[in-house]
Structure formats: structure tokens, C-alpha cells
Amino acid sequence: MADVPQNIDELKIIVYPHPGLREIAQPVTDPADPQIARLVERMRQLLGVADGVGIAAPQLGVALRIFLANPEREPGKELTFINPEIIETEGWRDTEEGCLSLPGITLKLRRRERIRMRYQDLTGRSFEIDAKGYVATILQHEGDHLDGKLIIDRASMMGRLAVRDKIKHLESEFEPEKVAVK
């Protein structure tokens, strides 16, 4: 399992092209570990400040298979997904998605209409959720982060061309020397 950093309270949302966004997240071996709970709490804080609907641990530079979803954007209503896996899908739908790690960029994508996902909570108990439409989109989007994938990877060639200048701007502002060496 990847380590939970000691500086949890200092974690921030990282922005493309930070290499942490491309790491494949490792499974959480002990969901009940107090450090995991601290990390999830920090994710809740950052999600609230950003007014987003989901956030994944890799977006904080932590390569662990954890994400939160809050389709209602209501504080305290976040759902925690540890070691999630999609076990069933059905249908397709067109979506328009943005990402906290790609500020100012939205893209039209194609996602599964309905999914069934298995996951664990902070006690280690296993659950399954059936989600469709908007909620299914959020879960798929956040799940992509755990595999090092971003919305720009799923976009059509036309979609990528439409946001090319914004991507180049993010790349020009990136400061690799500020990335902590592991």
C-alpha cells in the first residue's frame, strides 16, 4: 500500500500536468487505519472549499484507491469509496464534465448510463451501489483518477483540440521543482 503522508493537513489539490495525477493508485489494505480517516477528512475539506462533486486521493498526490462523491454538494453528505471497482455496466450517455485538477476545462464525454460498484467504507465493510445518470458519471470520473486517467484522455480529438490552449496554459504554469521528490 502507498503510504499516507504525515503532512495530511497541508495537502492541496494538484493540477495538471502534475505527475501524481498519472500514478495508478494502490489498494488500501486497512480502511480502518486512523491515517486513512484523517486523509478522508482532508479530502472532505478540500472538496467543500472547491465546491466540487467528487475528489480522489490521487488529486492530492496520494496514490491510494479512495474517492469521495457528493452529488448534492451538501457538507456532510459525502460518500466515501475505498477500493472501488465497477462490477456491472449498462447503456451509454453523453456527459459534460469538468475536473478540479483541470481548472477552467470542460469536455463532452461518453460514459456508462448505469453502473454497479463494489467498495469499502472506513470500517472495512463491503458495500455495493447501483448508480445511474449523473451519479454514475461522478463515480466513473473519480474512479478514472485511481487509474491515472483524466477527462482529457477520454475526450474526442475535436474535444482535445477545443481545449488545447487551456491545456498548454496549465502546462506552462506547472513548476516541476515544486513537486516533492519521493
Q: What is the pLDDT of residues 83-136, one digit of tens each?
A: 999 999 999 999 999 999 999 999 999 999 999 999 999 999 999 999 999 999
**From 88, 142, 173, 177, the catalytic residue:** 142
Is the entire prediction scored with pTM above 0.85? yes
ω into 17 cis (within 30 of 0): yes
Decide if 142 is catalytic.
yes
Range of lowest pLDDT (44-48, 94-98, 105-109, 174-178): 174-178
Confidence of residue 175 (pLDDT cuts 50, 70, 90): confident
Residues 73-91 have a mean pLDDT of 97
Please give the share of the chain, as a percent, with pLDDT higher than 90: 92
Residue ranges of domains in the chain, CATH in brackets = 8-175 (3.90.45.10)
Q: What is the pLDDT of residue 97?
A: 98
Cβ burial, residue 109 (10 Å; 0-12/13-18/19+) = buried
